[in-house]
A and B are shown apart, each in its own frame.
Chain A
């Protein structure tokens, strides 16, 4: 305990909360006992539906608990919500900035609501604006700020009266890596200099390691609480990095996953990170890696390893081996470019959403478009699908120029939109039948493809459920099945894993790998930097421009220096953004 005498920042005992929607009752939180130590950063970690947001809202007095007791800074939240609200700061997932008010007007509003005296304001504003780097933008409307700047303004508004406990609900979701780093620096400074206690929820597992303490929630129950190291230590001696020079990394990962001795295998950089089921030497002789053999290096376990293993134990349904996807025909892997993008531009009025973007994608490749929100990824995608005409440049998909033959090109592609775009009130089977008809499949062929989707994506047991009620991971499977109904040669995936928990993300990438193995060309956008390593090649975009292009290894190697011997994709991304800011900052 840092401050042995002071009360816990948050303490609950037997806390429970249920929601009912129609006839279904959802147990959002179930008998939670925990204590948040003051003066520290405590991370609230868990997959979707774990109950993180519910816990935050209960602590902020926005919901009323059904069972148990919840005290915030020694105040009973259910009895004195107003007293709690005047000593905490809470930033909801989508912080409510008024987009039609300026930065200054937003600050003024929250200063009024929080009762900050006029004499204190000037100093506090200057301090906050300096801290979040918005001092130059006070007159700008909040709606005109970038995603990262909005998030920082939201934080400044929550901090306008210095809170004793700061609740941050997924503050870094969808924020570019540079802003994410800055947000963390701000939070760490608050704890260090102002002694604020912070409870922060996150879906990024690498952020868990930056917390002093971690609370692990799963399906409304507490799985554990402790320092990040206390979670990963039990895995010591079970984690390895595996390289096999003769086997491409994606294939190696798939084959490792299939081994009974392996609990988890993911691509990390140019290697595959493996967690063994037990301590002891890892026997990989069954891989048949040829004379070059397999290189195995033991590594220190991290929080993500621990998280996955912990959740696999909880959740046998998701670890169930899904059958490989049988595609009708395996296409040949050759070097022909199936997508050609040449100096493409897209203007909206004065604003260039995409400018001078060029790249080529070869058959059977997984090609990534990496960038923060607003970088122009989705616009590029819509142009490639023929949904949006380009303002300039050449676009060719499967040999068709999109300006003249968008319809033919569209017949060869499958598109999975960023947001769930199926009919929520139709059942899974009805959705599949509709999409099969929409792609012009009939009779025997249609029945075959629907059967394929139900079996291959393990959707059989949900066939009669309204698709809007599916768990998020299954919604995503259904969307992917619908996009593959007509056996397209090219699959476009727009932020397919956004909002999906790490377990479902793993399973999803497993399917993508299988598709690529069968010769389907996959074009995917993502803002998860670690997912970029799953791609064969990628472009990094910012503000509508391509900043870098190449394989993940090439891209990262450009930023290898004395300081960073093994830069991550995130390091590379941040370095590229900084480089660009420097060149843009120089007077022309």
Chain B
């Protein structure tokens, strides 16, 4: 038998063995298919960074046509659900009891000061315990005030006397739905889970059960052994990726603006990076507990927190921003969010893909140096 035939036969043996084990092991299936579905449902439906129906207290000291029109603007908005209070004292009490998240206070001289076109006659008090929510509410209230002012001015045939008018237009995600950028980012987290965590666990299991020692003493080359591990989990990981993309597209209605093939190509690259990390961990950790801990700490948590998937990298402190550069998921999240929401923006995709390619080459180079058919 020639050398290549032998190598192919050994590789076939490894791949067949791994595939049978994946099919028979409920925990592999759970990590590859059940976890993604659970995570997607959780983030798709459960987590929302948008503010809607913010409970607001409206205090109108002297009701007249102007103040009624202003209150109606809040009533119609889907962002607020206002409640009327008669006095500011009652409203403050409601705020303290967290029945409302903010107070909009129109004093008795609202109409007079409005006509004088001087300073703003609207008082706003917000509950700052949830800072994020308060910031969003403040922005919305200002927006509501400005659009009402414009409407008021045009209906009264007046020129609006604001120093500068801001005209906002949001690109790529006009409705500002947080789901639209969370769900694509989640694909990176799920692929990290399958590529790094699952791979590190299954190799550690071979050490634990003593099967690794028996494998190593056969004529298999270390490269064949690694490739035999890599191929089945690559297929599994890409399966998890396709499942997530399908759910994003059809379950959550996230538009895929870019090309599917570009998505597939960049996902392949990221999958290889994740597998490289998993195999590297497995050269260090020889029991499942340690392998799991390392994989979660080094791959999963950074993919979650430092990738820009939930938390914006631009608003992190500089040292943390610096650290995010070694988190592969960061580059893939950027690619995913661009491909899903903006389309094939080549400079973004290529730049990040180059970073992933570099990381992949580094991981496999280290793996090639570290992985040995030895027990020490």
Contacts and interface: CB of A to CB of B under 8 A. Distances in A.
A115 B1 contact: yes
Contacts of B167: none
Interface in A72-92: 81-82, 85-86, 88, 90-92
Interface stretch (B60-68, B96-104, B171-179, B203-211): B203-211
B12 A112 contact: yes
B74 to A, nearest CB: 62
A97 interface: yes
Contact of B210 (A82, A85, A88, A96): A96
Given A97-B211, A115-B9, 9 more contacts: A95-B210, A95-B214, A99-B209, A100-B25, A101-B21, A105-B17, A109-B16, A109-B17, A115-B10
B167 to A, nearest CB: 63
Contacts of A94: 209-210, 213
A27 to B, nearest CB: 15
B20 interface: yes
Contact of B211 (A64, A82, A98, A115): A98
Contacts of A92: 210, 213-214, 217
Interface stretch (B303-311, B349-357, B368-376): B368-376
Contacts of B14: 109, 112-113
Contacts of A57: 375
A61 interface: yes
Contacts of A61: 217, 373-374
A63 B374 contact: yes
Interface of A: 19, 57, 60-64, 81-82, 85-86, 88, 90-101, 105, 108-115, 117, 154, 157
Interface string B80-109: 000000000000000000000000000000
A115 B221 CA distance: 12
Contacts of A85: 217-219
B215 A117 contact: no
B373 A62 contact: yes
Interface string B216-235: 11111100000000000000
A75 to B, nearest CB: 13
21 contacts: A60-B217, A82-B219, A82-B221, A85-B219, A86-B219, A90-B214, A90-B217, A92-B210, A93-B210, A94-B209, A95-B210, A95-B214, A96-B206, A98-B17, A98-B21, A100-B24, A101-B17, A112-B13, A113-B14, A113-B218, A117-B1
A358 to B, nearest CB: 37
A92 B214 CA distance: 7
Contact of B219 (A98, A105, A113, A157): A113
B211 A96 contact: yes
B6 interface: yes
A587 B62 CA distance: 101
A110 B211 CA distance: 12
Contacts of B219: 82, 85-86, 113-115
A354 to B, nearest CB: 27
Contact of B10 (A91, A93, A101, A112): A112
A62 B220 CA distance: 13
Given A96-B215, A114-B218, A64 B20 contact: no
A248 B100 CA distance: 90
Interface residues of B, number: 31
B219 to A, nearest CB: 4
B290 interface: no
B230 to A, nearest CB: 17
Contacts of A82: 219, 221
A19 B376 CA distance: 9
Given A57-B375, A100-B25, A115-B6, A62 B217 contact: yes
Contacts of A64: 374, 376
Nearest to B11: A112
A99 B24 CA distance: 11
A166 to B, nearest CB: 12
Contacts of A114: 218-219
Interface in B1-55: 1, 6, 9-10, 12-14, 16-17, 20-21, 24-25
Nearest to A154: B214
Nearest to A86: B219
Contact of B215 (A93, A100, A113): A113
B13 A109 contact: yes
A244 B327 CA distance: 79
Interface in B160-210: 206, 209-210
Nearest to A89: B217
B212 interface: yes
Q: Which of A93, A97, A100, A112 has the most C-beta atoms of chain B within 10 angstroms of its own C-beta?
A: A112
A373 B121 CA distance: 86
A109 B12 CA distance: 9
Nearest to B216: A62
A94 B214 CA distance: 9
Q: Which of B9, B10, B206 has the most C-beta atoms of chain A within 10 angstroms of its own C-beta?
A: B9
Contacts of B213: 62, 92, 94, 96
A189 to B, nearest CB: 22
Contacts of B206: 96
Q: Which of B13, B21, B25 has the most C-beta atoms of chain A within 10 angstroms of its own C-beta?
A: B13
Contacts of A93: 210
B218 A110 contact: yes
Contacts of B1: 115, 117
A82 B20 CA distance: 27
A111 B14 CA distance: 11
B18 to A, nearest CB: 10
Interface pairs A-B: 6 shortest CB-CB: A112-B13, A96-B211, A96-B214, A94-B210, A86-B219, A113-B218
Contacts of B17: 98, 101, 105, 109
Contacts of B220: 113
B360 to A, nearest CB: 27
Contact of A108 (B13, B24, B25): B13
Contacts of A115: 1, 6, 9-10, 219
Q: Which of A82, A98, A113 has the most C-beta atoms of chain B within 10 angstroms of its own C-beta?
A: A113
A93 B217 CA distance: 13
Contact of A81 (B9, B25, B373): B373
Contacts of B375: 57, 62-63
A106 to B, nearest CB: 9
B20 A100 contact: yes
Contacts of B210: 92-96
B12 to A, nearest CB: 6
Nearest to A113: B218
Nearest to A64: B374
Contacts of A111: 13
B9 A63 contact: no
Contacts of A98: 17, 21, 211
Contacts of B12: 112
Q: Which of A19, A108, A154 has the most C-beta atoms of chain B within 10 angstroms of its own C-beta?
A: A108
A81 B24 CA distance: 34
A75 B131 CA distance: 72
Contacts of B16: 108-109, 112
